[in-house]
Amino acid sequence: MSAVQVLVVSDSHGSAENLCRAVELTQPRMVLFLGDGWYDTEQLMQRYPDLPLERVPGNCDYRRSEAAERLILLGGARVMLCHGHTLGVKSDLGMLLRAALERGADAVLFGHTHKPFVDIRRGVLMLNPGSIGYGARPTYATLTVEDGKCDAVIHVLPSR
């Protein structure tokens, strides 16, 4: 099975251009968006209509009809997507990790804090790409999945 390279972004908050720049830089096979910028992803889909996109809403997206958490299969791995606001990620990652373990996730991806984070806890890769839209140093992540194993790297979006 060949490796799947995915762009992971969150918290664009109106910076659709930063989302598009990250796509240009990484040339991913797929984009995973973790909330707070739902309308930015609409612009991304218009610009890259053939690029697969999976997304969950954040606390600023007001998408009550959309699931706050999703589990997808990717390259043989079970990957949980969420924004994190419903799982208390600003105060502690315990509830997030428990939710991932209950779902049998190999990786859990979240946003909300605007702080990049990568760690492995109890065998689960935990990844927050930070904010692609806020601050002087917007960040994003690349997730590589091969044979059910997940690896992630945080990147700073270069200024133009």
> 85 to each of 45, 88, 140, how far by Cα in Å?
25, 5, 19
* Residue 1: per-residue pLDDT: 56
Indicate the pTM of the whole model.
Answer: 0.96
* Residue 134: per-residue pLDDT: 74
For 4-35, how does the pLDDT look when each residue is reduced to its tens digit (9 = 90+)? 899 999 999 999 999 999 999 999 999 999 99
Helices 16-26, 38-47: crossing angle, 10 deg rounding: 50
Angle CA(112)–CA(116)–CA(100) in degrees, nearest 5? 65
Phi, psi of 58 (to 5 degrees): -105, 180
**117-121/124-128 β-pairing:** antiparallel
How many domains, in total, are found in the chain? 1
For 81-127, how does the pLDDT look when each residue is reduced to its tens digit (9 = 90+)? 999 999 999 999 999 999 999 999 999 999 999 999 999 999 999 99
What is the CB-side half-sphere exposure of residue 111 using CA atoms within 13 A? 33
Q: What range does the domain containing 152 cover?
A: 4-156
* Residue 35: per-residue pLDDT: 96
Neighbours of 82 (CB within 10 A): 26
What CATH number has the domain bearing residue 84? 3.60.21.10
- Answer yes or no: is pLDDT of 136 > 90: no
Query: What's the whole-number average pLDDT of the chain?
Result: 95
Strand order in the sheet with 124-128: 69-74, 77-82, 107-109, 124-128, 117-121
